[in-house]
Chain A
């Protein structure tokens, strides 16, 4: 063991320099060439930062499209899921309450039309997206409260829709709401 101690210490120091200093520095310098400079892409409205494009934020108001429930209440200085098991009775009660609440706020929607992601918490607690279905199911509420034709809101959703490489149609809730506010 004696003959291995000194090389072990020296090699560790060398590894610190290569993998802990040089490697991250190279990536950090490369980040300067990226549009967001490696600081996360911001969403700016009227010169004010209103959020980060990749991170979801809390939308509970009826006049905005609501995102998914979050186990960390969209605290972007922390993250996490509910870690509730699929058979947990308290959890199922909670989901059931969310369904009831959704139906109260969206009286024109039938229960079987609610996609499950609107009443289940995401993995990160910061999911920025909802599926196309989950946006469309909120159209009547928003149209009524904003006094717009539902067709216009639907057209807005379609214009914001993106398709993941795996074929899931989704919308970024923050971008959609920014566009909603900007609607003439």
Chain B
């Protein structure tokens, strides 16, 4: 029992210890400072720029950054749509899986381009190996794009007045080649030696000990699993994601994968400290994120290890805790820990089925996505947090009667409006989607009976979770939801699309506008943003926005289910 808790404590501490040097390294990569690996990467990157006809030293303003980002995403969208709809006849398809329908291809494309990795298909039967490789490509480049944009915002937060915020392609290529690629190579090799498959052969067949004929899906999984975790993507090779023994063979790989889930999101905070040369500010951000994360984590681990009350009433023992949807080799504590890390970071891979979590753990997983900035996704998690910082600065400035300033830049009505819109967009998308679906379902439950795998409050939670996951660009699910229909494919696709790009555009615009303003040096009248008091303020803003917007919906779902089981 205690050894399970020790296991997850080690995962968390190891991550922080690794994130510290990695964050410093990432800061150097984005600043263009010298690192040990320059001799290796400089010529490599140079070739990439040359072949693409890019001048990485040409500075861009914030609008040019956004245009570059949106243009390249459009290209990716088209590539992905083409492959997913035509993979039936394209090569690398030993299991003869068919191409996708247009609505499913739309959902899957948006899902992977937006770094969400919501999967309305199952890996074994829904995509060819070529399809898997294309999706893996997006796991690299969508993560790289998010990181590049966060680098732009960090650059804009520096103490100076400028329009020039570096080059988008420079940040993007460096994120991919100097951070994601080397880490993925290391991870994939570790996975290989723990038995994860990496083959282009199709299904195997054998006769089991008991005499059943069994077919086994395989594939080039090890390469994909590495980047799926590092880039907070989460899209699994197999249907069961990292609960599948081929995708997460033992407790050691579970540790490695779980570290990979939160490593870069945490490292980003330390990179911020390096770039801004403001360690205290970075520690304030880290402390707020970590306290929030622990508040979600601890009750979840407790509840899962305690077991399901309804199962206890049946009179059997639950020595390993609530085991429905979980694997014996991980146990309850590591499954709950994974569940919270994957939802807090917008990763969305799972090592246990979230639909079968006890009610409050399911709620904390949802809360992680609703807040979406306790570490958050690679790059974009910081952007979400940035919005909350802006709001906190503005509110606390008004409260104490000081000019609202963030790092020497005055925050005015325009920036505040953008921040408020972005902060409210997320609850709006989630609640509007859930409300619409609930309305459609309740008008005609008999017709839509295939939507919900569970009755009552838990069924409502399944719909709420799906939109939360889409809007948080997370990608996990209460997978009992019958989501492989045009309705779900299209509505979730639209939510993912809006929830990816608007929360990128908003913070970049704010940061760009602030960067162009006059720099006011700190004085006695400046509101200090690197103190514990300000940290509490940020936390309060996050709590109020999340709690007030989502509490009613959560009461109808997991909270009602919890009290119903008492």
Chain A neighbourhood of B208, CB < 8 A: 50-51, 57-58
A88/B198 in contact, CB under 8 A: no
Separation of A115 and B318 alpha carbons in the complex (Å): 6
Interface size range on A against B: 35 or more
Chain B neighbourhood of A56, CB < 8 A: 245
Chain B neighbourhood of A123, CB < 8 A: 240, 243, 325-327, 335, 350-353
Interface status of A143 (Cβ within 8 A of chain B)? no
A80/B239 in contact, CB under 8 A: yes
In-complex Cβ contact of A30 among B192, B199, B324 (8 A): B192
Chain B neighbourhood of A42, CB < 8 A: 206
B252/A122 in contact, CB under 8 A: no
Asked, given contacts A7-B169, A57-B209, whether A170 binds B329 with beta carbons under 8 Å apart, the answer is yes
B113 → A minimal CB distance (Å):
11
A38 → B minimal CB distance (Å):
4
A124/B327 in contact, CB under 8 A: yes
Residues of B137-178 contacting chain A, CB below 8 A:
137, 140-141, 169, 172-173, 176-177
Number of A-B contacts (CB under 8 A): 367
Interface status of B72 (Cβ within 8 A of chain A)? yes
B51 to A, closest residue via Cβ: A14
Interface status of B552 (Cβ within 8 A of chain A)? no
A137 → B minimal CB distance (Å):
9
B316/A115 in contact, CB under 8 A: yes
Chain A neighbourhood of B523, CB < 8 A: none
Interface string of A22-51 (1 = CB under 8 A from B): 011011101100101111111001001111
Chain B neighbourhood of A8, CB < 8 A: 68, 71-72, 74-75
B86 → A minimal CB distance (Å):
16
Separation of A168 and B1 alpha carbons in the complex (Å): 8
Chain B neighbourhood of A122, CB < 8 A: 243, 323, 325-328
B459 to A, closest residue via Cβ: A85
Interface status of A156 (Cβ within 8 A of chain B)? no
Separation of A23 and B327 alpha carbons in the complex (Å): 30
A123 → B minimal CB distance (Å):
3
B320/A177 in contact, CB under 8 A: no
Interface string of B41-76 (1 = CB under 8 A from A): 000000010011110000000000001101110111
Asked, given contacts A20-B134, A28-B198, A77-B217, whether A127 binds B245 with beta carbons under 8 Å apart, the answer is yes
B144 → A minimal CB distance (Å):
9
Chain A neighbourhood of B328, CB < 8 A: 68, 117, 122, 127, 129-131, 168, 170
Chain A neighbourhood of B310, CB < 8 A: 86-87, 92
Chain B neighbourhood of A51, CB < 8 A: 206, 208-209, 214
Chain A neighbourhood of B317, CB < 8 A: 112-116, 133
B52 → A minimal CB distance (Å):
4
Interface status of A11 (Cβ within 8 A of chain B)? yes
A52 to B, closest residue via Cβ: B216
Chain A neighbourhood of B185, CB < 8 A: 23, 26-27
A57/B217 in contact, CB under 8 A: no
B508 → A minimal CB distance (Å):
15
Separation of A119 and B308 alpha carbons in the complex (Å): 13
B482 → A minimal CB distance (Å):
10
Interface status of B525 (Cβ within 8 A of chain A)? no
B307/A116 in contact, CB under 8 A: yes
| Interface residue stretch chosen among B28-36, B410-418, B449-457, B468-476 | B449-457
In-complex Cβ contact of A85 among B70, B196, B458 (8 A): B458
Chain A neighbourhood of B212, CB < 8 A: 57-58, 74
Interface status of A108 (Cβ within 8 A of chain B)? no
A84/B454 in contact, CB under 8 A: yes
Separation of A84 and B71 alpha carbons in the complex (Å): 42
Separation of A94 and B236 alpha carbons in the complex (Å): 29
Residues of A73-93 contacting chain B, CB below 8 A:
74-89, 91-92
28 A–B contacts from the bound complex (CB under 8 Å) = A7-B54, A8-B74, A14-B48, A15-B141, A19-B141, A20-B134, A23-B140, A27-B198, A31-B199, A40-B204, A51-B208, A59-B210, A77-B203, A79-B238, A79-B239, A83-B478, A84-B454, A92-B314, A117-B323, A120-B311, A123-B243, A123-B325, A123-B350, A123-B352, A124-B243, A126-B244, A131-B320, A168-B331
Chain B residues with a Cβ under 8 A of chain A: 2-4, 6-7, 48, 51-54, 67-68, 70-72, 74-76, 79, 122, 124-125, 133-134, 136-137, 140-141, 169, 172-173, 176-177, 181, 184-185, 188-189, 192-193, 195-201, 203-204, 206-210, 212, 214-218, 220, 222-223, 238-240, 243-246, 249-252, 255, 307-311, 314-320, 322-331, 333-335, 350-353, 355-359, 453-459, 461, 478-480, 561, 564-565
Chain A residues with a Cβ under 8 A of chain B: 1, 4-16, 18-20, 23-24, 26-28, 30-31, 34, 36-42, 45, 48-61, 64, 68, 74-89, 91-92, 95-96, 99, 111-117, 119-131, 133, 164-168, 170, 174, 177-178, 181
